[in-house]
A = this chain, B = another copy of it.
Amino acid sequence: MDRLRVGVVGASGYSGSIAARLVAAHPRLALAFATSDKWADDTLESHLIVRLEKGAGAAARFVANASALEHAKDCDAVLLATSAQVSMGLLPAFAELGKQVIDFSGAFRLDASAYPRWYGFEHTAPAWLSRAHYGLPEVFGPAPRAGVVANPGCYPTAAILPLAPLLRERLIEPLGIVIDAKSGVSGAGKRSTEEYSFGEIDNDFRAYKLFGHQHSPEITRALDRVAPGVTLTFTPHLLPLHRGLFATCYARPLPGATAERVAQCLADAYAQSPFVRPVAPDDVMLKRVAGTNLCLVAATANDDVVIALGALDNLVKGAAGQAVQNLNAMNGWDEALGLDALQPFSA
């Protein structure tokens, strides 16, 4: 059986290096190349991929980021673990060469008009915005085989998965949703600032970017496809841990939204999903998902409010794992291929 050859661009970041390891260990993928300026010319094994397929050849060492497109001929698909501005150039370039592309950044998740405000730049490839499939397979299905995927953000994945079924079943009002979310520090990528040094993060907790986080319009846009008229307040916070993201969502109940009914709604929506697990609210715990591609979800309600919870590993289900899941889905394979051996770190 031939393996799909996959290149990873930006393989020394947190999600990029996980992506490279997932590709290397996947039964139907082969790591075609991995780029990193920091690790250029180092062997892949020195950065802890235990073993590569025999004859991996070109993949034995990291190559420079700038050479990514030169290696396009060696690959069938590419994972872009790059910044939004870099992805904005690379996605069209790889796609026009006929490659499957999964982009980890926010470059293809919004409407063109939203980029100046939320990302600080004009979009230079607006034609691709409508062609990019928003890759949350449990809600929006697989991308077409010859497609390009905007891999969802970590916060959006954790919030949309518990909220979308409730909106679809008209159990909550689209108006005035509150999403209070808490993320591990790796969500910010590898950082070289005093602000992200150990001494400043350990024993700390804080909110940031109130009313101003770029995942706010992304969540709104995705949920609005499920139930028109969504408005929401999204507040991200920084947890003193490396990996894991937790979303606590509050919405006004619509008639019939009892505690039993909202829980059943999630149970039904994800009964066949290998990765989204409806559980009781007290069982939504980061330790059960960190290290895996799982997302735990729960919902409950009283007369005043529906509370919906989501928890995932921001680097896996919130990035690299979801990218591989998208690759699996668009190639018609079992979505869990290469992802079901991942183990939680603390459970």
Q: Which residues of A are in contact with B by a Cβ distance under 8 Å?
A: 14, 17-18, 21-22, 25, 47-48, 50-51, 176, 178, 180, 182, 185-186, 190-194, 196-208, 210-211, 231, 233, 235, 237, 239-244, 246, 248, 250, 274-275, 281-282, 284-288, 290-294, 300, 302, 304-305, 307, 309, 311, 336, 339-347
Contacts and interface: CB of A to CB of B under 8 A. Distances in A.
A163 to B, nearest CB: 15
Q: This chain: how many copies in the complex?
A: 4
A235 B307 contact: yes
A197 B197 contact: yes
Given A50-B342, A180-B180, A284 B206 contact: yes
B346 A242 contact: yes
Contact of A244 (B185, B198, B203, B346): B203
Given A250-B178, A281-B210, A282-B206, A294 B25 contact: no
Contacts of A281: 207, 210
Contacts of A346: 199-200, 202-204, 242
Contact of A192 (B192, B244, B300): B192
Given A180-B180, A207-B284, A291-B345, 13 more contacts: A51-B336, A176-B304, A178-B305, A182-B205, A191-B194, A196-B198, A197-B198, A198-B240, A203-B243, A206-B282, A206-B284, A239-B239, A239-B240
Nearest to A24: B341
B180 A304 contact: no
28 contacts: A14-B199, A21-B341, A50-B274, A50-B342, A51-B274, A51-B336, A176-B305, A180-B250, A185-B197, A185-B199, A190-B194, A190-B200, A191-B197, A191-B199, A202-B346, A203-B346, A204-B244, A205-B241, A205-B246, A205-B285, A205-B311, A206-B311, A207-B284, A210-B307, A211-B302, A237-B246, A240-B240, A250-B250
Contacts of A180: 178, 180, 248, 250
